[in-house]
Structure 1
Amino acid sequence: MSDQRTDFKSGWVDVPHAKIYWEASGNADGVPVLYLHGGPGSSLGRGGYRQRHDPARLWTIGLDQRGCGKSTPTVQDDLEHLAGNTTAALIADIEAVRRHLGIEQWIITGVSWGAH
């Protein structure tokens, strides 16, 4: 791993019935890599996933899935829309984050549910 300074950014993207939290770290000019956490119901946690990628070469993006972590509203606060929390909706959320960050294509990695 390089000792090159890395950048960290975070924010939210508005999608129907939710705001999706995202964070990005590493080399913003590097190869974009999306990390999907386990779940549903999990989160990015304390960011340990960022240690999986070389910050000098890669731009690592993580997002908290709809209803999880820092994304709002949480599932328990929005039960009326729980039926809409589908794989298709989660993919649309991922695409919204990709477009928001201006990424044309990326490598997708993850654990547990996020890797399937």
Structure 2
Amino acid sequence: MAGGLLTTGEEYPQVDWPHQFADDEVGILHLFGVHPKYRRTGISSELLQEIIKQAGKEGKQAVHLDVLAGNVPSEKLYVKNGFTVVQALTLHYDDIGDQDAKVLEYCI
């Protein structure tokens, strides 16, 4: 139905983050998704807030993530939930190659 994967350690060394944290103080959100049947029900925001809450309990000071350029619904979801767009850049993904993307930050 919905899920997300939070890992530890900075994965965007090329980004000039506005807030500086040690690698072990940063959670990286990967693979966040909700089944289409459950979209627009509020579950995305609920899950995202739970992930952020868990990151704080684990001592994280920030959560970073990336979103593909043009994925407006996802970007809106993240911004609505307190993330800030930090930078647009090209990122390399093992499965789809180089893609335009944006990186976002949430400070806990």
Bin of the TM-score, shorter chain as denominator length: 0.3 to 0.5
Greater RCO between the two (CA within 8 Å, min separation 6)? 1
Structure number with the higher strand fraction is 2
Question: Scaled by the length of structure 1, what TM-score is found?
Answer: 0.36
